[in-house]
Amino acid sequence: MNSLESQLDYPLGDRLPEPGQALPVAPGVLWVRMGLPFALNHINLWLLRDEIRTEAGPRAGWTIVDCGIDDAATRAAWEQVFATALEGLPVLRVVVTHMHPDHIGLAHWLCERWQARLWISATDFGIARLASSAAAGFGGPVSAAFMARHGMAADPDAVVGVGARGNYYRKLVPAVPEAFRRLLDGGTVTAGAADARRDWTCHVGYGHAPEHMALHNAADGVLISGDMVLPRISTNVSVTDLEPEDDPLRQYLASIERMRAIPADVRVLPSHGRPFVGLHTRIDQLQAHHDERFADVLTACAEAPHSAFDLVPIIFRRPLDLHQMTFAMGESIAHLHALWFAGKLERRTDAGGIHRFSLAH
């Protein structure tokens, strides 16, 4: 545990769900943990005890929140969960906080297997459908060219590596359900057994995903935060080739600031890491982290013009593999753009076509 983590409270201590099992974490809420083939090697998924009304009358079952990527190991883990944790009841709904592969990858399989409806924001549904069907973009040559313009041209092997990845999104999300029910900011998902119905209020977040939805159950003091607030790592906030002049980091910081409207003692159920209490403290930590990175970027750009690639070792002070480097490049650009759009930096394109940033005059 690092010094920042020690400022948070972990109600379950070091307990984790066993593979293929579910662990109670709040009233009517079970915690499931699935593996990921990345440095970030897991995702937390949630089961909400539920009941819905049908033409034939009330139907008891479960709502799944987030899905994991589509691979054989994740499907097998879900099958084990179905056999051990559902008490013989069906899955009624599949709620997805946002369109990233580890969250929506298996939504099509889960929805088909259980004849369940997908619930997601309209923006993330549309982008997920586009990404899973696109032949280009979302990795591959388009992304490689974008990163080359932001300085990665200095490392030709890295550019080739990014280009060779192809559409990595489609590899992890081969399909997206054809229909959905829309989640809206301020709207509610009502879930729970008949004698314990609860409203989960949607809180929109920008910057990490197009229209991320966290879910707050005020009655029980529980927040499914998705990726907006994580206890151990900072949320990835990236500029990508799809929206090359985006300013996602300021959007993200404004979004987590709005989450202060949620009580500080809420139990946070994050997508990565362990459930914790200390939402406002974690927001303070995340804001301070980015303030420090902004200061580092301004100091570097005061000394000489810098590309995003130049700044990666300044912002990320550890070795990075190719997968991590793509996220690091997106975050480096995001920090530069936040300062650029705030008028603190100016951007010029040099004779080699590389974007470099220096202090604004």
Q: Which domains does the chain have, with CATH numbers?
A: 5-135+166-292 (3.60.15.10)
pLDDT above 70 covers a percentage of the chain that reads 99
pLDDT above 90 covers a percentage of the chain that reads 88
Question: pLDDT for 239-252, tens place per residue?
Answer: 999 899 999 999 99
Q: Is the pLDDT reported for residue 333 higher than 90?
A: yes
Distances (CA, A) of 107 to 110, 216, 299: 5, 22, 44
Please, is 236 exposed, middle or buried when counting C-beta atoms within 10 Å of its C-beta (0-12, 13-18, 19+)? buried
Q: Which of 125-139, 218-232, 303-317 has the lowest mean pLDDT?
A: 125-139
pLDDT of residue 5: 85
What is the C-alpha separation between 336 and 62, in angstroms, rounded? 43
pLDDT of residue 1: 65
User: Do 200 and 189 meet the contact criterion of CB atoms below 8 Å apart?
Assistant: yes
What is the C-alpha separation between 159 and 168, in angstroms, rounded? 15
User: Do 317 and 111 meet the contact criterion of CB atoms below 8 Å apart?
Assistant: no
The residue among 360, 316, 333 whose CA lies nearest residue 151 is: 333
323: confidence class by pLDDT, cuts 50, 70, 90: confident
Question: pLDDT for 180-214, tens place per residue?
Answer: 999 999 999 999 988 899 999 999 999 999 999 99
What is the C-alpha separation between 56 and 47, in angstroms, rounded? 24
| Both tokens assigned to 51 | 């009941």
What is the C-alpha separation between 164 and 266, in angstroms, rounded? 44
Mean pLDDT taken over the chain: 95
Distances (CA, A) of 59 to 83, 96, 112, 296, 331: 19, 21, 18, 55, 45
Question: pLDDT for 130-182, tens place per residue?
Answer: 999 876 567 788 899 999 999 999 999 999 999 998 778 999 999 999 999 99
| Both tokens assigned to 309 | 């690639």
pLDDT of residue 136: 58
Using DSSP, state whether 144 is helix, strand or coil: helix
* Count of residues making up the chain: 361
Across the range 261-277, mean pLDDT stands at 98
The residue among 239, 260, 273 whose CA lies nearest residue 341 is: 239
Q: Is the pLDDT reported for residue 225 higher than 80?
A: yes
Q: What's the whole-model pTM score?
A: 0.96
Three-state secondary structure along 194-226? CCCCEEEEEEEECCCCCCEEEEEECCCCEEEEE
